[in-house]
Structure 1
Amino acid sequence: MKIIVTDQASKWFQDEMGLTPGRGVRFYGKVYGKTPVHDGFSLGLTPDDELGAPYAVTQKDGVNYFVPEGDQWFFKGYDLTISYDPKVDGPKYDYVENGEL
């Protein structure tokens, strides 16, 4: 799994969540909601500076964006692209199939 964070999304996370280099954002699957690839589950995120043993991690502007090993089930088979959507003034999440089984 790859996590791709655009420049505009990185700026949004830094501005809105007060993230600075060395900090992190953890993405995880949570019950309730819907994504383009899951019914009954949605994407959650929280500031988290402890990577532990991540399933996937990328660093953008010194900030770690990661998925913990325990949430592999939610992301398996997909890469996550995070961009900025000016219409909602927030992040947009795109799940791109990667062929991982």
Structure 2
Amino acid sequence: MKLQITDAATKWFEDEMNVSSDQKAAIRFYGKLYGRTKVHDGFSIALARELDPHNFGVKVEKDGVTFYIEKDDLWFFKGYDLDVDYDSKEDPNNVQYEWTDNGEL
């Protein structure tokens, strides 16, 4: 499972969620009950700003900011890589997620 964050998404997280390289805060991605993604029905992707990141299953550092998925949440992402991007023309208020089959299933 790969997690990739674009430069535009990193900037969005810095501006909207107040994370930066000089803080210990990190962004955690996880699955939550209810909703829908392109690959899940009944579950949606969620994110949170965490002050004490731990239990890393997948971890990516981008411009000094940590983005991660906990080991206990890897079930939600199994079989897919996740790309996180931001495009103000697509949705000025949110990041976008792209799921890519990685052959794990």
Give the alignment's TM-score, normalised by structure 1.
0.93
Task: Please name the residue that 2:13 is paired with.
Answer: 13
Task: Please name the residue that 1:35 is paired with.
Answer: 37
Task: Please name the residue that 2:75 is paired with.
Answer: 73
How many pairs align?
101
The aligned amino acid for 1:71 is D
Task: Please name the residue that 2:98 is paired with.
Answer: 94
Give the 4+ runs in structure 1 shifted more than 2 A: none
Residue 21 of structure 2 corresponds to residue 57 of structure 1: no
Identity of aligned residues (%): 47
State the distance in 2 between where 1:63 and 1:27 align: 14
Give the alignment's TM-score, normalised by structure 2.
0.90
Q: For structure 2, which runs of at least 5 residues remain unmatched after alignment?
A: none
State the distance in 2 between where 1:26 and 1:86 align: 22
CA-to-aligned-CA distance 1:61-83 (integer Å, 9 cap, x gap) = 11111001111110011111001
8 Å CA contact 2:25–2:53 kept in 1: the answer is no
